[in-house]
Amino acid sequence: MPANHERALDALLRRGRLRTLETAHGIDFTSNDYLGLAQSRELAQAVEQAIARGVPVGAGGSRLLRGNHDEHEALEQEAARFFGGETALFFGGGFIANSALLSTLPARGDLIVYDEYIHASAHDGMRLSKANAVAVRHNDAQAFEETIASWRRDGGTGQPWIVIESLYSMDGDRAPIGDLVAIARRHDAMIIVDEAHATGVFGPDGRGLAADLEGNDSVISLHTCGKALGVMGALVIGPRVLRDFLVNRGRPFIYATAPSPLIAATVRAALAICHTQPERRERLMRLVTHAERELRAKTCFVPSGSQILPLVVGGDVPAVALAKSMQSRGYDIRAIRPPTVPEGTSRLRLTITLNVSEADITRLVDNIAEAQAETAA
């Protein structure tokens, strides 16, 4: 075994940053299963029905070989209609979809301007891109505009690309989408909106925070299927020419085994649930409101306004200690540390899902207040 690997792991352990795999345990305040669909009866029945009509578990190859299945095609057609875009393309996951988008579409001579808190998968895609990429301050629309304008003044002649999340995964706050759309129009820029944590939760039928932009030739949206939709995979929604370009040039799409047709069938069922069961979103928002009220009344933490509630502790070791204290009380809560979040902002990332009740939330916040008092003593 290389000694440098062992030394690196030892260093992570000393700093309180060593990651280990743990199975699910305790009351769920950490998953992204916002609508409680992952273990729902409805999706289980969708799987049973798909198997009964002969849908295979495995695709057997890439989409461009024998792996393309009627279920993939049906999902993409239904997803395009559901989200309001011209076309859809199904990927095995959000990470591979982001990697494909940003490594394939921006060209040499283009400029990618991205929010500093964008998903890690977007960073990986940009590292493979031939375009220049520049980070700007989180949710600072003016910084996006100034960066593009400066690039133009310095002779930039390519295509600007604005890359954001609509709802940020670690802070739970929203992007200034309206301001960024106006900037994109002034500079003839494309916008890639990662709706991972908004899909299923916000917008008409759960179509996301950028739902009113779908169908615009300058907008590409990414909707992951493994969070509120309760399954796995990701759907890229956008103009047909860009879909065709991804099919022809997107290496993460071309050379990957196609997603399971059975999963594609189940995602179709999840989209139908989003359309026919708005009460799930309504119940979730009531729980979020209750959690915010409890946190304000009993702790020093400031709610985010969404189902993602970051409890920023600061140091790595204190965050791990608080997480372990909550786990010992019967809650599944994990500590989030750098490099996932900025230095000095280690936190507990609480999520509100339909897997909990108001009573669960009340007890949780009471226990957080107790645990904070114990660790401060």
Residue 15 lies in a domain: no
Q: Which domain holds residue 339?
A: 25-38+278-376
Q: Is the peptide bond before 339 cis (omega within 30 degrees of 0)?
A: yes
In the residue annotation, 275 being an active-site residue is answered as no
Q: What end-to-end distance do the CA atoms of the chain give, in Å?
A: 42
- Note the pLDDT of residue 274: 97
> CA 325 to CA 345: how far, in whole Å?
19
Is 71 in the same domain as 215?
A: yes
In the residue annotation, 298 being an active-site residue is answered as no
Residue 377 pLDDT exceeds 70:
no
Under DSSP, is residue 135 helix (H, G, I), strand (E, B) or coil? Answer: strand
Is 239 in the same domain as 305?
A: no
The structure tokens 């999340």 sit at 165
In the residue annotation, 227 being an active-site residue is answered as yes
Could you tell me the CATH number of the domain that includes residue 256?
3.40.640.10
The residue among 261, 276, 291 that closes a domain is 276
The residue among 242, 276, 310 that closes a domain is 276
Is 284 in the same domain as 149?
A: no
Residue 349 lies in a domain: yes
Residue 285's Cβ-count burial label (10 Å; 0-12, 13-18, 19+) is middle
Q: How many domains would you assign to the chain?
A: 2
In the residue annotation, 150 being an active-site residue is answered as no
In the residue annotation, 139 being an active-site residue is answered as no
| Cβ–Cβ under 8 Å, residues 191 and 61 | no
Where does the pLDDT of residue 1 fall: very low under 50, low under 70, confident under 90, or very high at 90 and above? low
- Average per-residue pLDDT in the chain? 94
Question: Which whole-number Å values give the CA distances from 337 to 46, 59, 136, 206, in the listed order?
Answer: 37, 37, 21, 30
The string of pLDDT tens digits covering residues 126-176 is 999 999 999 999 999 999 999 999 999 999 999 999 999 999 999 999 999
Element (H, E) at 69: none
In the residue annotation, 69 being an active-site residue is answered as no
SS3 annotation, 273-297: HHHHCHHHHHHHHHHHHHHHHHHHH
DSSP letter for 221, please: E
Where does the pLDDT of residue 376 fall: very low under 50, low under 70, confident under 90, or very high at 90 and above? low
Which of 72, 119, 187, 223 is catalytic? The answer is 119
The residue among 276, 303, 328 that closes a domain is 276
Is 258 in the same domain as 360?
A: no
Where does the pLDDT of residue 3 fall: very low under 50, low under 70, confident under 90, or very high at 90 and above? confident
The string of pLDDT tens digits covering residues 54-107 is 999 999 999 999 999 999 999 999 999 999 999 999 999 999 999 999 999 999
Is 229 in the same domain as 312?
A: no
The string of pLDDT tens digits covering residues 312-355 is 998 998 999 899 999 999 999 999 999 999 999 999 999 999 99
> CA 288 to CA 358: how far, in whole Å?
9
Is 271 in the same domain as 287?
A: no
- Note the pLDDT of residue 43: 98
Which of 28, 32, 98, 166 is catalytic? The answer is 32
| Cβ–Cβ under 8 Å, residues 319 and 348 | yes
Write phi, then psi, for 171 (nearest 5 degrees): -110, -20
Which of 33, 165, 292, 316 is catalytic? The answer is 165
In the residue annotation, 115 being an active-site residue is answered as no
